[in-house]
Amino acid sequence: MQDCSRRRSKPTRIRQSQYLNNRIEQDHRRIKRRVRLRIS
């Protein structure tokens, strides 16, 4: 894990705002929907 973080050029930023995290959650929702369709 530490080895991977050393290779990155930019450090990972943690978003402090709930609204900024919504974009990430919406993208994750789309992925979950696709996975469910393939499983069933």
How would DSSP label each residue in the chain? Answer: -HHHHHH-SSPPPPP--HHHHHHHHHHHHHHHHHHHHHH-
pLDDT in tens, 2-29: 555 556 567 777 767 767 777 777 777 8
Q: Judge whether 4 lies within some domain.
A: no
Residue 7 lies in a domain: no
Count up the domains in the chain and report the number. Answer: 1
Looking at residue 24, its pLDDT comes to: 72
- Asked, for residue 10, whether it belongs to a domain, the answer is no
Q: Could you tell me the pTM of the whole model? A: 0.35
Tell me, what's the pLDDT at 5?
A: 52
Output the pLDDT for position 3: 55
Whether residue 20 is contained in a domain is answered as yes
Establish if 11 belongs to a structural domain. Answer: no
Domain that holds residue 40: 16-40
Residue 9, in any domain of the structure: no
Are 27 and 20 in contact by the 8 Å Cβ rule? The answer is: no
